[in-house]
Amino acid sequence: MPGGLDLIFVGIAALAAGVVNALAGGGTLITFPMLTLVGIPAVAANVTNTVALCPGYFGGTFAQRNDLRGQEKRLWTIIPASIVGGLIGGFLLLQTGEKLFKDLVPYLILLASGLLAMQDQIRAWIMRRLSQHHKGSLEKWTWLVTGTASIYGGYFGAGLGVILIAALGLTLEDSLTRLNALKQSISLATNLATAIFFLFSGQVVWSAVLVMAVGSLIGGTLGGKLAGKIKPSTLRWTVVSIGVIVSIIYFVRG
């Protein structure tokens, strides 16, 4: 169990993650390494991180609730698939074992960093595709691609938003604003289902959860106030750099 000083570091990391998530995304690349740095095993750190950051998804979904109007039919098929995907991902995580997951961590962090780095390119591709008005919609397959992405979200989660927006842009024809609202809802469903599943795992470090919840809430508020004062691209590349450095450290430490 982390001590008082460790919890202070965890709280600061959560605060930073709240700011980052509000402005650019990728906060997990800050909180997860900090949890392992203070001595929490990798699987327990990932479980704790998922539970602690869950409330933040409510805020994002609530803020874009108006953009979900008229998309109820989509939600009835996509959300159940996302819940199942999150549960599958969470189950796979608990079955992986500490050593194997620890070995996978640097690759997962690199993947998340790469997704974050390509965020602008992915959004540009989506905008090009939406402007072409493709015939023969692939919308009926949206539940499959988002459900598959949610398996990753339940397993690790960092970079899930980028994966989801790409999946939605592949199968749906709509505005980027409405797709982003769907992404928020899917992220909430995936994370909430996984978090509830993890509550019964015995792996949640509750002292860290409480500190992180407060820190991320304060950070999210600060991030909202800093919007427009800090370039999201600058912050995003800072997080990407941190992710790459952290993954190298994990590789070296084995």
Q: What is the DSSP string of 40-51?
A: --HHHHHHHHHH
**What pLDDT does 23 receive?**
72
Q: For the residues 32-54, what does the mean pLDDT come to?
A: 92
Q: Which of 52-66, 138-152, 172-186 comes out lowest in average pLDDT?
A: 52-66
Q: 2 pLDDT band (50/70/90 cuts)? A: confident
**Residue 51 to residue 213: CA distance in whole angstroms:** 9
**What pLDDT does 134 receive?**
57
Beta-ladder partners of 227:
230
**What pLDDT does 35 receive?**
94
**Residue 215 to residue 207: CA distance in whole angstroms:** 13
**What pLDDT does 137 receive?**
65
**How high is the mean pLDDT of the chain?**
86
pLDDT per residue as tens digits for the range 57-104: 777 677 778 888 888 888 899 999 999 999 999 999 999 989 999 899
Nearest residue to 45 (alpha-carbon basis) of 251, 250, 252: 250
**Residue 49 to residue 26: CA distance in whole angstroms:** 13
Beta-ladder partners of 230:
227
Q: What is the dihedral of CA 155, 158, 161, 165, to 10 degrees?
A: -80
Q: For the residues 200-213, what does the mean pLDDT come to?
A: 93
**Residue 156 to residue 47: CA distance in whole angstroms:** 9
Q: What is the dihedral of CA 48, 54, 56, 62, to 10 degrees?
A: 180
**What pLDDT does 227 receive?**
63
**What pLDDT does 254 receive?**
64
Is residue 228 over pLDDT 70?
Answer: no
Question: Is there a contact between 90 and 37 (Cβ–Cβ < 8 Å)?
Answer: no
**What pLDDT does 27 receive?**
83
**What pLDDT does 104 receive?**
92
